[in-house]
Amino acid sequence: MPLSSHHATPSGKPRARHYAIPFEGRPGPNNAITDVPGVAVGYTTLIEGDGPLVVGEGPIRTGVTAILPRPRADLAQPVFAGLFSANGNGEMTGSHIIEEIGAFTFPITITNTHSCGVTRDGTLRWLTATAPDALEAAWGLPVAAETYDGFLNDINGHHITMAHVAAAIDAASTGAIDEGSVGGGTGMIAYEFKAGSGTASRRVDWQGRTYTVGSFVQANFGKRRNLMIRGQRVGAELAEPAMVERTPRREKGSIIAVVATDAPFLPHQLKRLARRIPLGVAWTGGLGYHSSGDIFLAFSTANAEAATGASGAVARAEYIPDCDIDPFFDAVVHGIEEAILNALIANDDMTGRDGNFVPALPKGWLERAFR
């Protein structure tokens, strides 16, 4: 009998709940950002070659993640949003207009550091081909973000193309999604274990309605000595298996996180949600070190008409009062914590360029520690 989507990814990788880790909060049906109605996620994953690095040839361990904030037909319709940079040693394009007007349009892409511009431009190329009127109705300033995968990947080979971006957007689907070494997370490392893409969700009841808060991370940060799982400092007992560094490794860790919700919030409130994302990161042991680009985005699919704002008319938006926002803060922190652990657990060992090796978080240890 197949495991539920709470316990395994569609490709059969175990998720954190498979090991009976006692999380807080009530997840949505797939425990994923795609539990927010209308939100979809797609991947392009590139894993090719082995052996010594030959720039431009490989080995390749990279990819593209696409997050669609609305259904394809509605991608030109803005979503209210808020952004928070806990440590700006990284990149997220489109951030200035989000700061200015509290909204963005079009798919979000996440990839490796040296391909961030390609995914931004690839999103515009995809829109030109599939929905050219959208670029007449909205600003061409899509969100594209990055983390560094150069320890495993030929990052200077620039293997991501606009076709890969289009493929990730075209592959975007709702329902259960894969995690771990997929999409932009393919070559990423967290706490010196193989990591990458992770997701989770929480349901929040308010005034007779149930809302969803979904989280997605591209996790590429943290020192193993700091790793925590549900408040347990486990890094010290997980010194092995160790990474194998056949070429010098510069510390270039980062985390990009996206929170989506169907709860009606205004831009200043979404910025408040984004500011709580680092607390979920900290619950796993992330301390925002100098080299870590920790950049966080939150958006709401509610208030579509108000976000669009017709000229010459007063726009009206609903919103949950700030005094009732605390359960949504809980949902953000709990979801981000679980998404990071899912990125670590739904994973396998990986060997990349020059024989550099990153182990997966040991499954046997998880069985003993939590089951």
Catalytic positions: 254, 292, 294
Closest CA to 300 of 36, 34, 75, 30: 36
Q: What is the DSSP letter of 278?
A: H
Strand, helix or coil at 2? coil
Closest CA to 17 of 27, 6, 1: 6
Q: For 296, phi and psi rounded to 5 degrees?
A: -130, 140
Closest CA to 112 of 67, 60, 69: 60
Closest CA to 263 of 296, 297, 306, 303: 303
- The three-state DSSP-derived secondary structure of 140-185 is CCCCEEEECCCCCCCHHHCCCCHHHHHHHHHCCECCCCCCECCHHH
- Give the span between the Cα atoms of 193 and 134, in whole angstroms: 41
What count of other Cβ atoms lies within 10 Å of the Cβ of residue 342? Answer: 31
The helix (H) or strand (E) run that includes residue 60 is strand 60-68
**Which residues have C-beta within 8 Å of that of residue 301, sequence separation ≥ 6?**
36, 37, 38, 39, 69, 70, 79, 260, 261, 262
Q: If you count them, how many residues does the chain have?
A: 371
- Give the span between the Cα atoms of 331 and 31, in whole angstroms: 12
